[in-house]
Structure 1
Amino acid sequence: MNVLLTDRLSCPRCGPEFGLILLAERTEKRRVLEGRMGCPNCRDRFPVSRGFGDLRAPPRSALPPVESLDAPPAEATERLRALLGVAEGPGNLALVGPVVAHAAGLAQRTPETEVVAVDAAGVVRGRGVANTLDQVEVLVEESLSGERVERDERHQAQDGAGRGA
């Protein structure tokens, strides 16, 4: 889980007014691998294990595996990048729907940008790519090393959390 994205997470119970506090026990290359997050308001805690931050309310069940989507042509990804108006980072991009297939390509072409793919049944994994699973009513961040952050459907993004969508 990218350390910079953890600054944008809010409590799934209390909403965007209450950001989560991260206690990282193990990090590697600006990615949290082990630790926990907590809400200063409701005092709920959310584990981070093997780079996976689970923001669902207990009890937490196992998630189904994520399948990869076919990578679109490089020209199509470059066109999308131009339409989004993002030439370079730093920043966060949120992709929703079928364009999530461009997540890995956008992350590769746009240094210092974290790409979050929403409503993805699967996405080609790559450095700086996060994806989500809507079918199980949770959102999951994944990166090249399989790091994940998930939350339930009530979670809302903070204002200014992304650079493009």
Structure 2
Amino acid sequence: MHIELIDLLRCPRPHEDSWLVASFARMDGRLVVEGTLGCPVCGERYAIRDGIPRFDAAPEELPESPAVQGGARHPVPVTRNALPDTQPGISEPAAEGAMRMAAMLSLTRPGGLAVLEGETSRFAGEVRNLAAARVIALNPPAGELDEQEGIAAVECSSAVPLARGSADGVALDGSAAPSLVLDVGRVLRPGGRLVVAPGTQLPPAFRELARDERYVVAELTGELVKLSR
């Protein structure tokens, strides 16, 4: 994982938002290959293995003695089971699918942050190039992501382990856990886009914008503010 993207990570446990404390055991240039992330709020620790923060990893999978200690605070990812081959969008050519995905997520701001979960992460490279965006590939299929600058794989099955309001758009495939779907509203900025498979129940505070046989596009409207005199 590129070191500059680690600051976006958060502990997936339900408590106050806080950066994670990172220690690095092995790096390749600016990429963190092996290390540990620790939460200063709940004390939980997560492993970075093969460049991927693994929020679902068991404690015994953590690196034992990091060679380099990092002073930055950072978050970690989670793993999940392999996805079936019938997810929305997987039959689209990469360039065409990526262009459509970038448009649905309204990635018009250079340097914006997109989260592509599960099978939708196959568009990560093309979306990054088309939209000049940073991309978090959440729970990507094993061996299908070519990580590069501006793209990071993260494993977390229960939540989107990113800072509140940090993402411009999130795309989930049809097998995302309900808890992960509900967490999207916390991660998106106001007006941010959510792309899900038809049949997925939209979380509160989202307004549906469009749908077809493959995707539903929604926008985070936020909670209504009561005005009083």
Band of TM-score, shorter chain: 0.5 to 0.7
Segments of 5+ residues of structure 1 without an aligned counterpart are 131-140, 142-148
Select the structure that is richer in strand.
1
* Residue 109 (str. 1) matches residue 145 (str. 2): no
With over 3 angstroms needed to count, the CA separation of the structure-2 counterparts of 1:14 and 1:60, relative to structure 1, is farther
- Aligned to 2:46, what secondary structure does the other structure show? strand
Counterpart in the other structure of 1:28: 28
Structure index of larger Rg: 2
Counterpart in the other structure of 1:4: 4
TM-score by length of 1: 0.63
With over 3 angstroms needed to count, the CA separation of the structure-2 counterparts of 1:8 and 1:154, relative to structure 1, is same
With over 3 angstroms needed to count, the CA separation of the structure-2 counterparts of 1:29 and 1:82, relative to structure 1, is farther
Equivalenced residue count is 147
- Aligned to 1:89, what secondary structure does the other structure show? coil
With over 3 angstroms needed to count, the CA separation of the structure-2 counterparts of 1:105 and 1:35, relative to structure 1, is same
Q: Whose relative contact order is higher, 1 or 2, with alpha carbons under 8 Å and at least 6 apart? A: 1
How does 1:31-110 map onto structure 2 within 5 Å?
A: 31-56=31-56, 58=58, 72-87=93-108, 89-96=110-117, 99-110=120-131
TM-score by length of 2: 0.49
- Aligned to 2:98, what secondary structure does the other structure show? helix
* Residue 163 (str. 1) matches residue 183 (str. 2): no
- Aligned to 1:106, what secondary structure does the other structure show? helix
Identity, in percent, stands at 27
With over 3 angstroms needed to count, the CA separation of the structure-2 counterparts of 1:85 and 1:32, relative to structure 1, is same
Structure 1 residue 57, shift from structure 2 partner: 6.0
Counterpart in the other structure of 1:145: none
- Please give the per-residue CA displacement for 1:88-129, whole angstroms capped at 9, x wherever unaligned: 632320235764442232123334x33234575568423344
- Aligned to 1:25, what secondary structure does the other structure show? strand
With over 3 angstroms needed to count, the CA separation of the structure-2 counterparts of 1:102 and 1:20, relative to structure 1, is same
With over 3 angstroms needed to count, the CA separation of the structure-2 counterparts of 1:117 and 1:59, relative to structure 1, is same
Query: In 2, Cα distance between the equivalents of 1:101 and 1:20?
Result: 27
Segments of 5+ residues of structure 2 without an aligned counterpart are 62-78, 171-229
Counterpart in the other structure of 2:15: 15
**Root mean square deviation of aligned Cα:** 3.7
